[in-house]
Amino acid sequence: MSKICLLAHAKANLTLDVLGRRPDGYHELESVMVPLSLADFLTLEKAPRISLSSEGPFAAGLPDPAADLASEAAALLKSWTGYAGGCAITMRKNIPLAAGLGGGSADAAAVLHGLNRLWDLKLERQELLNLAARLGSDVPFCLLDRPAVARGRGEILEMIPAAALDLVLVKPPVPKSTGAVYRKLNPDRMGNRPDNQAVVRALALGRPGALTAAIGNVLTPIMSGDHPEIGRAAQTLLDCGALAAGMTGAGPTVFAIAENRSKAKEIVALAGRRLEGCEIMEVQTLPSPRSLSG
Ligand code: C5P
Protein backbone atom coordinates (compact mmCIF):
# COMPACT_ATOMS: atom_id res chain seq x y z
CA MET A 1 0.00 0.00 0.00
CA SER A 2 1.50 3.37 -1.00
CA LYS A 3 -1.55 5.64 -0.55
CA ILE A 4 -4.49 5.87 1.82
CA CYS A 5 -7.59 8.12 1.93
CA LEU A 6 -9.41 8.97 5.16
CA LEU A 7 -12.24 11.06 6.55
CA ALA A 8 -11.43 13.18 9.62
CA HIS A 9 -14.75 13.88 11.35
CA ALA A 10 -15.43 17.11 13.22
CA LYS A 11 -16.68 16.85 16.81
CA ALA A 12 -19.24 18.65 18.92
CA ASN A 13 -19.29 18.95 22.70
CA LEU A 14 -23.01 18.57 23.43
CA THR A 15 -22.04 19.45 27.00
CA LEU A 16 -18.92 20.74 28.70
CA ASP A 17 -18.52 20.79 32.46
CA VAL A 18 -15.39 21.67 34.42
CA LEU A 19 -14.86 19.87 37.72
CA GLY A 20 -11.81 21.87 38.78
CA ARG A 21 -8.38 23.25 37.89
CA ARG A 22 -5.48 20.79 37.85
CA PRO A 23 -1.96 21.35 39.13
CA ASP A 24 -0.67 21.04 35.51
CA GLY A 25 -2.73 24.12 34.49
CA TYR A 26 -5.34 22.11 32.58
CA HIS A 27 -8.93 21.64 33.73
CA GLU A 28 -10.65 18.46 34.80
CA LEU A 29 -13.51 18.01 32.32
CA GLU A 30 -16.69 16.05 31.92
CA SER A 31 -17.98 16.48 28.39
CA VAL A 32 -20.46 14.53 26.26
CA MET A 33 -18.88 14.45 22.81
CA VAL A 34 -20.13 13.24 19.45
CA PRO A 35 -18.48 12.91 16.04
CA LEU A 36 -20.15 14.76 13.16
CA SER A 37 -20.83 13.94 9.52
CA LEU A 38 -18.86 17.10 8.64
CA ALA A 39 -15.31 15.95 7.79
CA ASP A 40 -11.98 16.90 6.26
CA PHE A 41 -10.75 14.56 3.56
CA LEU A 42 -7.14 13.40 3.89
CA THR A 43 -4.85 11.59 1.47
CA LEU A 44 -1.59 10.13 2.79
CA GLU A 45 1.09 8.93 0.38
CA LYS A 46 4.47 7.40 1.13
CA ALA A 47 7.26 9.93 0.45
CA PRO A 48 10.89 10.46 1.52
CA ARG A 49 9.96 13.35 3.87
CA ILE A 50 6.90 14.63 5.74
CA SER A 51 5.05 17.36 3.81
CA LEU A 52 1.59 18.87 3.94
CA SER A 53 -0.59 20.71 1.47
CA SER A 54 -4.20 21.81 1.83
CA GLU A 55 -7.10 22.86 -0.32
CA GLY A 56 -10.85 23.33 0.04
CA PRO A 57 -13.21 25.89 1.58
CA PHE A 58 -11.24 26.45 4.82
CA ALA A 59 -7.65 25.94 3.65
CA ALA A 60 -6.87 29.66 3.48
CA GLY A 61 -6.54 30.35 7.22
CA LEU A 62 -4.30 27.39 8.03
CA PRO A 63 -0.95 28.00 9.74
CA ASP A 64 2.42 27.22 8.19
CA PRO A 65 2.23 23.53 7.08
CA ALA A 66 5.16 22.51 9.30
CA ALA A 67 3.34 23.96 12.36
CA ASP A 68 0.05 22.22 11.57
CA LEU A 69 -1.06 19.59 14.07
CA ALA A 70 -1.35 17.00 11.25
CA SER A 71 2.37 17.43 10.42
CA GLU A 72 3.17 17.28 14.13
CA ALA A 73 1.26 13.99 14.36
CA ALA A 74 3.29 12.50 11.50
CA ALA A 75 6.58 13.73 13.03
CA LEU A 76 5.64 12.34 16.46
CA LEU A 77 4.80 8.92 15.02
CA LYS A 78 8.01 8.87 12.99
CA SER A 79 10.22 9.71 15.98
CA TRP A 80 8.30 7.35 18.32
CA THR A 81 8.70 4.37 16.00
CA GLY A 82 11.98 5.27 14.25
CA TYR A 83 10.29 4.85 10.85
CA ALA A 84 12.80 5.88 8.16
CA GLY A 85 10.51 7.40 5.50
CA GLY A 86 7.94 10.17 5.39
CA CYS A 87 4.58 10.96 3.85
CA ALA A 88 2.87 13.57 1.72
CA ILE A 89 -0.31 14.69 3.48
CA THR A 90 -3.03 16.36 1.39
CA MET A 91 -6.02 17.77 3.25
CA ARG A 92 -9.30 19.03 1.88
CA LYS A 93 -10.45 21.37 4.67
CA ASN A 94 -14.23 21.29 4.99
CA ILE A 95 -14.28 21.96 8.76
CA PRO A 96 -14.20 25.66 9.74
CA LEU A 97 -10.97 26.62 11.56
CA ALA A 98 -10.73 27.75 15.21
CA ALA A 99 -14.40 26.91 15.58
CA GLY A 100 -14.65 24.49 18.53
CA LEU A 101 -15.32 21.73 16.00
CA GLY A 102 -11.98 19.96 16.50
CA GLY A 103 -10.84 20.21 12.87
CA GLY A 104 -7.11 20.28 13.65
CA SER A 105 -7.49 17.48 16.21
CA ALA A 106 -9.48 15.37 13.73
CA ASP A 107 -6.76 15.77 11.07
CA ALA A 108 -4.04 14.82 13.57
CA ALA A 109 -6.01 11.75 14.69
CA ALA A 110 -6.59 10.68 11.07
CA VAL A 111 -2.85 11.02 10.39
CA LEU A 112 -1.99 8.79 13.39
CA HIS A 113 -4.57 6.19 12.35
CA GLY A 114 -3.69 6.34 8.65
CA LEU A 115 0.10 6.25 9.02
CA ASN A 116 -0.13 3.31 11.41
CA ARG A 117 -1.55 1.42 8.40
CA LEU A 118 0.42 3.11 5.57
CA TRP A 119 3.76 2.66 7.35
CA ASP A 120 2.69 -0.80 8.59
CA LEU A 121 3.64 0.09 12.18
CA LYS A 122 1.15 -2.22 13.93
CA LEU A 123 0.84 0.06 16.97
CA GLU A 124 -1.90 -1.01 19.40
CA ARG A 125 -4.96 1.19 19.91
CA GLN A 126 -3.86 2.28 23.40
CA GLU A 127 -0.40 3.30 22.20
CA LEU A 128 -2.00 5.46 19.48
CA LEU A 129 -4.36 6.98 22.06
CA ASN A 130 -1.37 7.86 24.29
CA LEU A 131 0.37 9.58 21.37
CA ALA A 132 -2.89 11.36 20.51
CA ALA A 133 -3.09 12.80 24.05
CA ARG A 134 0.40 14.28 23.63
CA LEU A 135 -0.82 16.23 20.59
CA GLY A 136 -3.90 17.79 22.22
CA SER A 137 -6.80 17.21 24.61
CA ASP A 138 -9.34 16.49 21.81
CA VAL A 139 -7.14 14.23 19.67
CA PRO A 140 -7.90 10.98 21.61
CA PHE A 141 -11.64 11.56 21.13
CA CYS A 142 -11.12 12.15 17.40
CA LEU A 143 -9.14 8.92 17.18
CA LEU A 144 -11.96 7.03 18.94
CA ASP A 145 -14.47 8.68 16.55
CA ARG A 146 -17.50 7.50 18.54
CA PRO A 147 -19.97 9.13 20.95
CA ALA A 148 -18.31 9.24 24.37
CA VAL A 149 -18.08 10.99 27.71
CA ALA A 150 -14.63 12.58 27.94
CA ARG A 151 -13.03 13.10 31.35
CA GLY A 152 -9.62 14.07 32.71
CA ARG A 153 -8.04 16.54 30.27
CA GLY A 154 -10.28 14.98 27.62
CA GLU A 155 -8.26 11.80 27.14
CA ILE A 156 -10.25 9.46 29.43
CA LEU A 157 -13.03 8.23 27.18
CA GLU A 158 -16.14 6.22 28.02
CA MET A 159 -18.03 5.14 24.92
CA ILE A 160 -21.78 5.62 25.17
CA PRO A 161 -24.72 4.33 23.15
CA ALA A 162 -26.15 7.20 21.14
CA ALA A 163 -28.63 7.61 18.31
CA ALA A 164 -27.89 10.09 15.51
CA LEU A 165 -29.07 13.70 15.91
CA ASP A 166 -29.82 16.37 13.33
CA LEU A 167 -27.92 19.55 14.09
CA VAL A 168 -27.47 22.99 12.60
CA LEU A 169 -24.03 24.60 13.12
CA VAL A 170 -23.50 28.35 13.13
CA LYS A 171 -20.00 29.79 13.33
CA PRO A 172 -20.00 33.53 13.94
CA PRO A 173 -16.97 35.45 12.65
CA VAL A 174 -15.35 35.62 16.09
CA PRO A 175 -11.69 34.93 16.95
CA LYS A 176 -10.88 32.53 19.75
CA SER A 177 -8.06 31.15 21.84
CA THR A 178 -8.98 28.07 23.84
CA GLY A 179 -6.30 28.75 26.44
CA ALA A 180 -7.53 32.32 27.03
CA VAL A 181 -11.13 31.14 27.52
CA TYR A 182 -10.10 28.55 30.13
CA ARG A 183 -7.90 31.09 31.92
CA LYS A 184 -10.93 33.34 32.45
CA LEU A 185 -12.98 30.54 34.02
CA ASN A 186 -13.53 30.68 37.76
CA PRO A 187 -14.23 27.05 38.77
CA ASP A 188 -15.91 28.27 41.98
CA ARG A 189 -18.45 30.39 40.07
CA MET A 190 -19.73 28.62 37.02
CA GLY A 191 -23.09 29.05 35.36
CA ASN A 192 -24.68 26.95 32.62
CA ARG A 193 -23.61 23.56 34.01
CA PRO A 194 -25.01 20.57 32.13
CA ASP A 195 -26.83 17.51 33.47
CA ASN A 196 -24.55 14.98 31.80
CA GLN A 197 -26.42 11.91 33.05
CA ALA A 198 -29.66 13.21 31.55
CA VAL A 199 -27.87 13.89 28.25
CA VAL A 200 -26.41 10.37 28.18
CA ARG A 201 -29.90 8.91 28.83
CA ALA A 202 -31.53 11.06 26.13
CA LEU A 203 -28.88 10.06 23.56
CA ALA A 204 -29.27 6.35 24.37
CA LEU A 205 -33.04 6.59 23.95
CA GLY A 206 -32.80 8.77 20.82
CA ARG A 207 -34.94 11.52 22.37
CA PRO A 208 -33.65 14.89 21.14
CA GLY A 209 -36.44 16.72 23.01
CA ALA A 210 -35.08 15.50 26.35
CA LEU A 211 -31.77 17.29 25.67
CA THR A 212 -33.28 20.76 25.88
CA ALA A 213 -33.03 21.26 29.63
CA ALA A 214 -29.94 19.10 30.09
CA ILE A 215 -27.24 20.54 27.79
CA GLY A 216 -24.88 23.25 29.01
CA ASN A 217 -21.30 24.47 28.58
CA VAL A 218 -19.55 26.33 31.40
CA LEU A 219 -17.37 28.19 28.87
CA THR A 220 -20.42 29.78 27.19
CA PRO A 221 -20.83 32.77 29.56
CA ILE A 222 -17.15 33.68 29.02
CA MET A 223 -17.24 33.55 25.22
CA SER A 224 -20.69 35.10 24.85
CA GLY A 225 -19.78 37.84 27.35
CA ASP A 226 -16.91 38.87 25.06
CA HIS A 227 -18.81 38.17 21.83
CA PRO A 228 -22.57 38.88 21.89
CA GLU A 229 -22.81 37.35 18.38
CA ILE A 230 -22.74 33.94 20.09
CA GLY A 231 -25.84 34.56 22.21
CA ARG A 232 -27.55 36.15 19.21
CA ALA A 233 -26.83 33.08 17.05
CA ALA A 234 -28.23 30.75 19.74
CA GLN A 235 -31.38 32.86 20.17
CA THR A 236 -31.94 33.07 16.40
CA LEU A 237 -31.69 29.28 16.12
CA LEU A 238 -34.25 28.85 18.90
CA ASP A 239 -36.54 31.44 17.27
CA CYS A 240 -36.29 29.48 14.02
CA GLY A 241 -37.56 26.29 15.67
CA ALA A 242 -34.54 24.54 17.25
CA LEU A 243 -35.27 22.31 20.28
CA ALA A 244 -32.11 23.55 21.99
CA ALA A 245 -28.96 25.51 21.23
CA GLY A 246 -25.52 25.37 22.81
CA MET A 247 -21.87 26.20 22.20
CA THR A 248 -19.34 23.49 21.31
CA GLY A 249 -15.96 23.40 23.10
CA ALA A 250 -14.49 26.84 23.71
CA GLY A 251 -16.63 28.12 20.83
CA PRO A 252 -17.43 30.12 18.94
CA THR A 253 -19.58 27.63 16.99
CA VAL A 254 -23.15 27.29 18.22
CA PHE A 255 -25.09 24.10 17.49
CA ALA A 256 -28.85 23.74 17.36
CA ILE A 257 -30.63 20.44 17.92
CA ALA A 258 -33.44 19.90 15.43
CA GLU A 259 -36.37 17.50 15.69
CA ASN A 260 -35.45 15.84 12.38
CA ARG A 261 -33.57 16.49 9.16
CA SER A 262 -36.30 18.42 7.37
CA LYS A 263 -36.65 20.70 10.41
CA ALA A 264 -32.87 21.22 10.34
CA LYS A 265 -33.03 22.26 6.67
CA GLU A 266 -35.86 24.66 7.50
CA ILE A 267 -33.80 26.19 10.34
CA VAL A 268 -30.81 26.65 7.98
CA ALA A 269 -33.03 28.44 5.45
CA LEU A 270 -34.68 30.71 8.05
CA ALA A 271 -31.66 31.44 10.27
CA GLY A 272 -29.28 31.82 7.29
CA ARG A 273 -31.14 34.97 6.24
CA ARG A 274 -30.81 36.52 9.70
CA LEU A 275 -27.23 35.56 10.57
CA GLU A 276 -25.14 37.56 8.16
CA GLY A 277 -21.42 36.80 8.05
CA CYS A 278 -21.83 33.44 9.82
CA GLU A 279 -21.01 30.00 8.45
CA ILE A 280 -24.20 27.95 8.68
CA MET A 281 -24.61 24.27 7.85
CA GLU A 282 -26.75 21.25 8.55
CA VAL A 283 -24.97 18.13 9.88
CA GLN A 284 -25.73 14.82 11.58
CA THR A 285 -24.04 13.38 14.62
CA LEU A 286 -22.61 9.92 13.98
CA PRO A 287 -24.37 7.29 16.08
CA SER A 288 -22.59 4.67 18.16
CA PRO A 289 -22.17 1.28 16.49
CA ARG A 290 -25.15 -1.08 16.79
CA SER A 291 -23.43 -3.30 19.33
CA LEU A 292 -23.39 -0.38 21.76
CA SER A 293 -26.78 1.16 21.09
CA GLY A 294 -28.52 -2.23 21.29
O1 C5P B 1 -4.83 20.35 24.82
P2 C5P B 1 -5.02 21.54 23.97
O3 C5P B 1 -3.73 22.02 23.34
O4 C5P B 1 -6.10 21.40 22.95
O5 C5P B 1 -5.50 22.71 24.95
C6 C5P B 1 -5.49 24.07 24.59
C7 C5P B 1 -5.58 24.88 25.87
O8 C5P B 1 -6.88 24.73 26.45
C9 C5P B 1 -4.60 24.47 26.95
O10 C5P B 1 -3.39 25.15 26.81
C11 C5P B 1 -5.32 24.85 28.22
O12 C5P B 1 -5.12 26.21 28.49
C13 C5P B 1 -6.79 24.68 27.86
N14 C5P B 1 -7.36 23.40 28.35
C15 C5P B 1 -7.60 23.25 29.69
N16 C5P B 1 -8.12 22.06 30.17
C17 C5P B 1 -8.42 21.06 29.32
C18 C5P B 1 -8.19 21.20 27.92
C19 C5P B 1 -7.64 22.40 27.48
O20 C5P B 1 -7.34 24.15 30.50
N21 C5P B 1 -8.93 19.93 29.80
Q: Using the mean position of ligand 1's atoms as its centre, give its distance from the Cα of residue 29 in Å.
A: 10
pTM: 0.97
Query: Would residue 11 show up in a list of annotated catalytic residues for this protein?
Result: yes
pLDDT for 66 equals 80
Looking only at the bridges linking them, the beta strands covering 216-217 and 15-21 are: parallel
Burial of 82 (C-beta count, 10 Å sphere; 0-12/13-18/19+): exposed
pLDDT for 192 equals 87
Q: How many Cβ atoms sit within 10 Å of the Cβ of residue 26? A: 14
137 close to ligand 1 (CB < 6 Angstrom) = yes
Give the Cα separation of 119 and 1 in Å (integer). Answer: 9
- Chain-centroid distance of CA 288 in Å reads 16
Atom of ligand 1 nearest to the CA of 28: 21
pLDDT for 127 equals 98
178 close to ligand 1 (CB < 6 Angstrom) = yes
- Mean pLDDT score of the chain: 96
Planar angle of CA 166, 171, 173, nearest 5 degrees: 170
Q: Where are the beta strands (DSSP E) in the chain?
A: 3-13, 15-21, 27-47, 50-55, 86-92, 148-152, 156-159, 166-171, 216-217, 244-247, 254-258, 279-284
Task: Give the pLDDT mean for 11-34.
Answer: 97
User: Over 80: is that where the pLDDT of 108 sits?
Assistant: yes
Percent of the chain with pLDDT strictly greater than 70? 99
Give the Cα separation of 98 and 253 in Å (integer). Answer: 9
228 close to ligand 1 (CB < 6 Angstrom) = no
Query: Would residue 138 show up in a list of annotated catalytic residues for this protein?
Result: yes
Give the Cα separation of 7 and 92 in Å (integer). Answer: 10
Ligand 1 atom 15: residue of nearest CA: 26
Burial of 167 (C-beta count, 10 Å sphere; 0-12/13-18/19+): buried
Q: How many Cβ atoms sit within 10 Å of the Cβ of residue 20? A: 9
**pLDDT tens-place string over residues 41-98:** 999 999 999 999 999 999 988 878 888 999 999 999 999 999 999 999 999 999 999 9
Atom of ligand 1 nearest to the CA of 18: 21
Among candidate residues 40, 68, 138, 166, the one labeled active-site is: 138
Q: Using the mean position of ligand 1's atoms as its centre, give its distance from the Cα of residue 137 in Å.
A: 6
**pLDDT tens-place string over residues 196-254:** 999 999 999 999 999 999 999 999 999 999 999 999 999 999 999 999 999 999 999 99
Confidence of residue 293 (pLDDT cuts 50, 70, 90): low
Q: Using the mean position of ligand 1's atoms as its centre, give its distance from the Cα of residue 19 in Å.
A: 14
21 close to ligand 1 (CB < 6 Angstrom) = no
